Amino acid sequence: MASLDSHVLMKIVSFFLYTLLVTSVSSETKCLNFQSIISFGDSITDTGNLIALSTPNELPESAFLPYGETFFHHPTGRYSDGRLIIDFIAEVLGLPHVPPFYGSKNGNFEKGVNFAVGGATALECSVLEERGISCPPKNKSLGVQLTNFKESLRSLCGSPSDCIDMIGNALILIGEIGGNDYNYPFFGHKNIEEVKELVPLVISTISSTITELVDMGGKTFLVPGDFPLGCSVIYLTLYQTSNKEAYDPQTGCLTWLNEFSEYHNEQLQAELNRLRKLYPYVNIIYGDYYNALLRLIQEPAKFGLMNNPLPVCCGLGGRYNYTFGVKCGLKGVECCNDPSKYVNWDGIHMTEAAYKWIAEGLLKGPYATPPFDWSCLSSEIKDKESLDT
């Protein structure tokens, strides 16, 4: 009996010590004064990679005005009139805008590096093509981006110990990614059940990427969910219908597509919860892009936006100032006079104004789970009103 009591006592002590260790490590990793940003994703986060990967004869529309006109006053490869969510995050952290990796062999990546590429998918092209889904010829999938990151570590940080420090002290942004895995089949009018079959594959790919980066020393991750696809003008145009019941009466968005986005986001959050239990010493933050954007469409006047928030700023024709296949940046495609009043920029991407409000919702709440802990930041950075400029 005495030996049993000792055995039980040892178990209790061991559990207590383990809990103490996890709590200690968790409090350390939750509150970090980030030294850099490491980013992966698609056009929502691309700060110039797709341009660098393109030949002069096949430059994307983001290489031409009016892209970049609001803040940078020239095209930078960002798919917006100005800054992106990642730019606002960098500003609040007191870091420079994150430079693109591709085409910048001699770039300064000490404060951040961005592997996100416009048009990128989470899944490899072979997986999509097996299902009859077309994929960009030069797609930089999430796996390719991660491989390129690992291959470049020596040039980015030098010694193994320096690399562990760099990764551990970075805010690692995983996405938004996966949107194009759904866009390509939806653009081809694949039925929703076929597209739903991709969701667990996309989630698994995101999860395995996080796991690899945790093994490399990653401590803090921001993992955004999908936007409300039913509010995207390209879909509102492509799937326009006379059936009023297909639309949300409050927003005018396509209900079935928004429900699909919610399904993806629910599955992603469930997987992130699993990872948090597996890695209690790692801070994995879910970015609720869905609701952070949806509120702008539900109450546009509250954010200084025009009362009809769905039409695009840069486009041509149709109910939403958009024609499928007619891209912003081409000759003859008109741009609005004041992008700060618009949510939608070019039919797929948002304006700098919308991205600013989304970033504020993430950084200041309530659209990050768990919330960001800014207690470690210097007072100079905490007092900085970057999002108000």
Catalytic (active-site) positions: 43, 346, 349
**Which residues lie below 8 Å from residue 288, measured CB to CB, with a gap of 6+?**
224, 225, 265, 361, 362, 367, 368, 369
How long is the chain?
Answer: 389
CB-based contacts of 235: which residues, under 8 Å, 6+ apart? 186, 229, 254, 257
> Which amino acid would we find at residue 60?
P
Question: 248: buried, middle or exposed (CB in 10 Å: 19+, 13-18, 0-12)?
Answer: middle
d(CA 261, CA 289): 10
- Please state, in angstroms and rounded to a whole number, the distance separating the CA atoms of residues 328 and 347: 9
